[in-house]
Amino acid sequence: MRPLSIDSINPAILKVQYAVRGELAIKAEEHRLKLTKDDHGLPFKRVINSNIGNPQQKGLDQPPITWTRQVCALMEWPALMDLAPQVFPKDVIARAKELQEEIGSVGAYSHSQGVPLIRKSVAHFIEERDGYPSDPNHIFLTAGASAGVSLLISMLITPPKSGILIPIPQYPLYTATLAQHSGIAIPYHLDEASEWSTSLHEIEGALEKSYKDGIEPKALVIINPGNPTGALLDEHTQEELVKLCEKHSLVLLADEVYQSNLHRPESHPFTSFKKIVRRMNSPVPLFSFHSISKGVQGECGRRGGYFECTNIPDAILSLIYKMVSVGLCPPLTGQIGVDCMVRPPKPGDESYPLWKKETDAIHAALASRTKTMADRLNKLPGVSCVSSPGALYLYPKLELPEGAIEAAKKAGKSPDTFYALQLLDETGICVVPGEGFGKKDGHNYYRLTCLCPGVEEYVGALEQFHLNFMKKYGGL
């Protein structure tokens, strides 16, 4: 019998890389275990996971929205409605009864596409947001947005020479999924000088190169608001991107999971691609993704999300349904989380005042931390940072001294990975090096979240480390 070995595994799997849970995250967990020992010898008291947008993780501790947790609690144990009715607001009980009537037990499978009532709720949410109709039969509930992205990329790729246009820097889900399905990433660079804007010229250049290389481009990925950059697209750029997709027969994949994470909504509003496509009366095939993991929900572990299909032929919708049926159904608790997100309490409802207070506090905290961190990082020598108008991250650029670049080379690391590893070892702060998101040669970055409480202590540690690092390697 031939032994199981790396050589006997699907070679596509070996190419998968996912930086946000890669080398830095693994080492951070090793440090966390060391800290449980009295003689750990580490120069910090706790590990701060600033590497991933995980608001409710231990140490960041963003409080869950009470409305969501109360509805979910009653769905998990409906007897609570009778045992402790005084504990729960009347609108929470009414919502739980409505959902229970539709779903029954959360321990049972649902419709493979998702609970019909919840899909109707999502459609209503989209109609109110955009002013255009939405069909519940064209909405698929998923185990987080990532599951929908992975499914559709797997369906779009036709090996060996097809690919998908992805922004650089990008969320590594896209390159990882493409590698898994033997697809080719066709990179286009965002423009850092203009707040990480999307350049039509860059995309056209990437398309031209792909054609010359014999690669068939199948789709264009747009992350709006951006990850890791936090950039927001203006409507004119969105219209031009839709025209580009029409011209090149591209499917548009709109990753819009940060649509409610807006720090300056008056000057930097969010507009969905669904609204743009409908307003233009465009035939472009569009898949739009949303999630309960971001926004103010932060319910990452609940695994809830959806994608909406616009201008997708019935034959393709049938194939998507076939594929989601293989997985039986998305988690019921995630689906209930989606319903709570798209159907929150309204003014006049008993739960509304607390819901408004909690969501306003989270929005304000994220906006304040983003501004404070960007302002302070920009004052450091060798650091420049666009103050993100959206999402949960900052993406500072590092101008590292030659001594650091040489030391990184000797260590067999990219300069930004070298920097991030030392940051983790000396402060306990875990970030993701720019290498994991894609970048131009000679440029160095890292991504950190704006979720960390205690900004003064947190940013103070970043500042002190950076000054010591620059001095150590001849940058000061």
Residue at 460 is within a domain:
yes
> Are 122 and 201 contained in the same domain?
yes
Q: Which residues pair with 445 in a beta bridge?
A: 397
pLDDT, position 13: 63
Examine the pLDDT at 269 and tell me if it is beyond 80.
Answer: yes
CATH code at position 287: 3.40.640.10
Instruction: Please provide residue 410's backbone torsions phi and psi, each rounded to the nearest 5 degrees.
Output: -65, -30
Angstrom distance (rounded) from CA 452 to CA 59: 8
Residue of 16, 8, 10, 360 whose CA lies nearest to 173: 16
Query: Comparing 101-110, 145-154, 226-235, 430-439, which segment has the lowest mean pLDDT?
Result: 430-439
Q: Do 442 and 416 meet the contact criterion of CB atoms below 8 Å apart?
A: no
Give the end of a domain, one of 313, 342, 371. Answer: 342
> Are 371 and 271 contained in the same domain?
no
Q: What is the dihedral of CA 401, 406, 411, 416, to 10 degrees?
A: 30
Average pLDDT over residues 119-134: 97
pLDDT, position 14: 66
Give the end of a domain, one of 295, 313, 342. Answer: 342
> Are 411 and 467 contained in the same domain?
yes
Residue at 127 is within a domain:
yes
> Are 144 and 283 contained in the same domain?
yes
Q: What is the pTM of this model?
A: 0.90
Average pLDDT over residues 445-470: 86
> Are 338 and 361 contained in the same domain?
no
> Are 109 and 133 contained in the same domain?
yes
Q: Do 388 and 231 meet the contact criterion of CB atoms below 8 Å apart?
A: yes
Considering 39-43, 265-269, 462-466, the range whose residues carry the highest mean pLDDT is 462-466
> Are 122 and 265 contained in the same domain?
yes
Looking at the structure of the chain, the number of domains it has is: 2
pLDDT, position 94: 94
* 108 class by beta-carbon count within 10 Å (0-12 exposed, 13-18 middle, 19+ buried): exposed
Q: Domain limits at 259?
A: 100-342
Residue of 134, 49, 120 whose CA lies nearest to 309: 134
- First CA to last CA across the chain, in angstroms? 61
Angstrom distance (rounded) from CA 396 to CA 392: 13
> Are 238 and 366 contained in the same domain?
no
Give the end of a domain, one of 342, 365, 398. Answer: 342
Report angle CA 118, 120, 220 to the nearest 5 degrees. 90
Angstrom distance (rounded) from CA 432 to CA 19: 7
Residue at 435 is within a domain:
yes
**Residues whose CB falls within 8 Å of the CB of residue 130, separated by 6 or more in sequence, listed in order:** 272, 274, 275, 278
Tens digits of residue pLDDT in 277-308: 999 999 999 999 999 999 888 888 889 999 99
> Are 259 and 288 contained in the same domain?
yes
Angstrom distance (rounded) from CA 171 to CA 167: 9
Tens digits of residue pLDDT in 4-32: 766 766 776 666 565 556 778 888 888 88
Residue at 74 is within a domain:
no
Angstrom distance (rounded) from CA 352 to CA 346: 6
Give CB contacts under 8 A, 24+ apart, made by 193-198: 195/231, 195/386, 195/389, 196/226, 196/229, 196/230, 196/231, 196/386, 196/395, 197/231, 197/233, 197/237, 198/167, 198/222, 198/231, 198/233, 198/237, 198/241
Angstrom distance (rounded) from CA 77 to CA 90: 17
pLDDT, position 476: 66
Residue at 459 is within a domain:
yes
Residue at 122 is within a domain:
yes
Average pLDDT over residues 253-262: 93
> Are 296 and 404 contained in the same domain?
no
Q: Which residues pair with 184 in a beta bridge?
A: 163
Query: Comparing 1-5, 36-40, 362-366, which segment has the lowest mean pLDDT?
Result: 1-5
Q: Locate tokens 């998990």: which residue? A: 76
Average pLDDT over residues 408-413: 91
pLDDT, position 295: 86
Residue at 279 is within a domain:
yes
pLDDT, position 247: 95
> Are 364 and 295 contained in the same domain?
no
> Are 313 and 401 contained in the same domain?
no
430-448: buried (b, 16+ CB within 10 Å) or exposed (e) per residue?
bbbbbbbbbbeeeebbbbb
Angstrom distance (rounded) from CA 289 to CA 364: 25
What mean pLDDT is reported for the chain?
89
Better-predicted residue by pLDDT, 440 or 226: 226
CATH code at position 24: 3.90.1150.10
- The 10 Å Cβ neighbour count of residue 183 is 26
**Cα torsion angle, 242, 247, 248, 250, sign:** positive
Strands 251-255 and 286-291: parallel
Longest CA–CA separation in the chain, Å? 69
Residue at 277 is within a domain:
yes
Q: Which residues pair with 167 in a beta bridge?
A: 188
Q: Do 12 and 179 meet the contact criterion of CB atoms below 8 Å apart?
A: yes
Examine the pLDDT at 180 and tell me if it is beyond 70.
Answer: yes
